[in-house]
């Protein structure tokens, strides 16, 4: 067994357990983007930034700390403008005992609530302009109102 994920805060699990756990977490958090394709060094085609398949907007493609992938928006927004389930932050991973940044991973913000003005990185889904995503956001808001009728 080895330590999995890109940061050392995950428990050590055997492969099937790890995959089941990571897949479930990915579904829960919406980290269902395909893994990033490593660019072929011989490929001279123009590099296009990834875009959303639903609305065509430019998205950022990040690995999560548990080796699944997620599409995030290109800019931070204040936490008050992003529904809790879509709040992420970017963490720079450094090589051990070195200041050199080796990777950036996306982590869902859970547990501690950010202040309303704290910048968070919304999942692209939260800012997606596709009809499906807008409908999803509406249902989300309704559920929140039902849970907290103030
Ligand atoms: Zn979109």
Domain containing residue 99:
15-33+49-147
Say how many Å lie between the CA of residue 10 and the centre of ligand 1. Answer: 30
The pLDDT assigned to 1 comes to: 42
Say how many Å lie between the CA of residue 55 and the centre of ligand 1. Answer: 4
Residue 44 lies in a domain: no
From the CB of residue 86, how many other CB atoms can be counted at a distance below 10 Å? 23
- Residues 30 and 86: their CA atoms lie apart, in Å, by 8
Number of domains in the chain: 1
- Residues 96 and 37: their CA atoms lie apart, in Å, by 26
The pLDDT assigned to 117 comes to: 96
- pTM to 2 decimals? 0.80
Per-10-residue mean pLDDT of the chain, 150 residues long, equals 54 82 92 84 79 94 93 96 93 86 91 93 95 87 75
Say how many Å lie between the CA of residue 60 and the centre of ligand 1. Answer: 11
Residue 1 lies in a domain: no
The pLDDT assigned to 9 comes to: 53
Say how many Å lie between the CA of residue 46 and the centre of ligand 1. Answer: 22
Say how many Å lie between the CA of residue 143 and the centre of ligand 1. Answer: 22
The pLDDT assigned to 128 comes to: 95
Q: What is the DSSP letter of 116?
A: T
From the CB of residue 89, how many other CB atoms can be counted at a distance below 10 Å? 16
Residue 132 lies in a domain: yes
- Name the 3-class secondary structure at 78: strand
């Amino acid at each position: 067994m080895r330590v999995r994920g890109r940061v050392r805060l995950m428990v050590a699990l055997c492969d099937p357990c790890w995959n089941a756990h990571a897949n479930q977490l990915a579904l829960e958090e919406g980290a269902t983007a395909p893994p990033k394709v490593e660019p072929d060094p011989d490929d001279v085609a123009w590099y296009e930034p990834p875009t959303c398949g639903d609305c065509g907007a430019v998205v950022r493609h990040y690995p999560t700390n548990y080796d699944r992938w997620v599409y995030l928006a290109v800019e931070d927004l204040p936490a008050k403008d992003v529904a809790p389930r879509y709040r992420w932050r970017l963490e720079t991973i450094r090589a051990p005992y070195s200041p050199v940044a080796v990777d950036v991973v996306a982590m869902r913000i859970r547990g501690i609530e950010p202040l309303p003005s704290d910048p968070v990185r919304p999942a692209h889904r939260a800012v997606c302009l596709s009809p499906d995503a807008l409908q999803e956001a509406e249902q989300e808001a309704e559920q929140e109102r039902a849970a907290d009728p103030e």
